[in-house]
Amino acid sequence: MPMPKIWSFGSINADHAYRVPHIPAPGETIAAREYSLGLGGKGANQSVAAAKAGATVAHVGLIGPEGLWAKERLAALGVDTQHIMQSATPTGHAIITVDETGENAITIFPGANRAFADAQLQALATEARPGDLLILQNETNLQAEAARIAVKQGLTVLYSAAPFSAQATSEVLPHISLLLLNEIEAAQLNAAVGTLPSGITVVVTKGSSGADWTSPDQTLHCPVFPVKPVDTTGAGDTFAGYLAAAIAEGQSPEAAMRLASAAAALKVTRKGTADAIPSRAEVDAFLASV
């Protein structure tokens, strides 16, 4: 029986990354020590992570007139890009500053990621099959519409509520199976929404404190793998993509969380975003070493 396909409905960005001595304070001007341009966006990062984990991944996305390079890069990294379309709106981009400890601050221009029309969701309605998975986040419009279509088609929906939006999250929550948050987003969600719908699995990542899985029938904690961070950008997306791939493989929650945590740990030891996400062979070797 073939492994379920992962459908990723999400953002595609050009990441402008700057290495700086520290994150600038309001009104402060500092000189960057390094600059790089690469593929990013939470959607693209999660697609690449799931593909590198070994899953079959189809990305549904929008790029601008100048964005064909991003589509080509996604394809080169193992993602099915036939459902990525071009828009008259410029490709989204992110300005990322990374300090000496690996912490970051990010400003996003949504661009084409917020220009979806219902027609771009047609592939989900016609090609997705029962048992497939949909992963999505809050960097596009039409997340709730995509989730509704996925549920109607019999898909499992995994949702990263980031960047956090109370309205977007409230609209998506009734249609999801797994909710993925970091500690800050979990606090924001609790303040904005309160009680979650029954039956949802919630995974909260806590940086150096590991990650928690809470489902109606199981609660577990996955400790962090100690590494020296170089760049934390994309670590959460790496975790999400690997977790989705492990779930598609039918792994247990414990095994899926361990795999995702190891992939995220390896990611923070490398500079960059999508291009820096480790392969499954690298993650398996890392797990074997620890």
> Could you give the residue numbers annotated as active site?
237
Cis, peptide link before residue 163, omega less than 30° from 0: yes
Taking CA atoms, 184 is separated from 40, 162, 181, 189, 190, in Å, by 22, 10, 8, 9, 10
Residue 137 neighbours by CB distance under 10 Å: 27
CA 46 – CA 167 distance, rounded (Å): 23
Taking CA atoms, 207 is separated from 204, 222, 226, 236, 274, in Å, by 10, 11, 11, 9, 19
CA 156 – CA 150 distance, rounded (Å): 7
CA 284 – CA 266 distance, rounded (Å): 11
CA 12 – CA 15 distance, rounded (Å): 9
Rg (the chain; Cα; Å): 18
Burial class (CB in 10 A: 0-12, 13-18, 19+), 257: buried
